[in-house]
Amino acid sequence: MKKCPYCFEEVREPVAKCPHCAQFVIDDFIESDYRSIDKKRCIFCGKNILAEAKVCKHCRKWINTVDDAIKDME
Ligand SMILES: [Zn+2]
Ligand SMILES: [Zn+2]
């Protein structure tokens, strides 16, 4: 499967714009054979996003550092 390099959500086809985070994909898609399950909480909107995500798919803001995100331990 391919994943968006920004929000790390699975995308079916190479698309110009990610359907999840609405970013225009100018970097290569990430090739992966498993779906991410680790989550963190967006520092802006507080919703759960994938731990690797650089862009929140809910509010579409860029998360610059992992340290800024609050790990969701639940
Ligand atoms: Zn995306
Ligand atoms: Zn957010």
73 C-alpha to ligand 1 centroid (Å)? 23
- pLDDT of amino acid 64: 76
- pLDDT of amino acid 8: 95
pLDDT in tens, 2-25: 999 999 999 987 789 999 999 999
61 C-alpha to ligand 2 centroid (Å)? 6
- pLDDT of amino acid 16: 92
pLDDT in tens, 11-67: 987 789 999 999 999 999 999 998 888 999 999 999 999 999 999 999 999 997 655
11 C-alpha to ligand 2 centroid (Å)? 19
Q: What is the dihedral of CA 72, 34, 58, 53, to 10 degrees?
A: 70
25 C-alpha to ligand 1 centroid (Å)? 8
- pLDDT of amino acid 71: 57
The beta strand positions in the chain, using DSSP E, are 2-3, 10-11, 30-31, 39-41, 48-50, 70-71
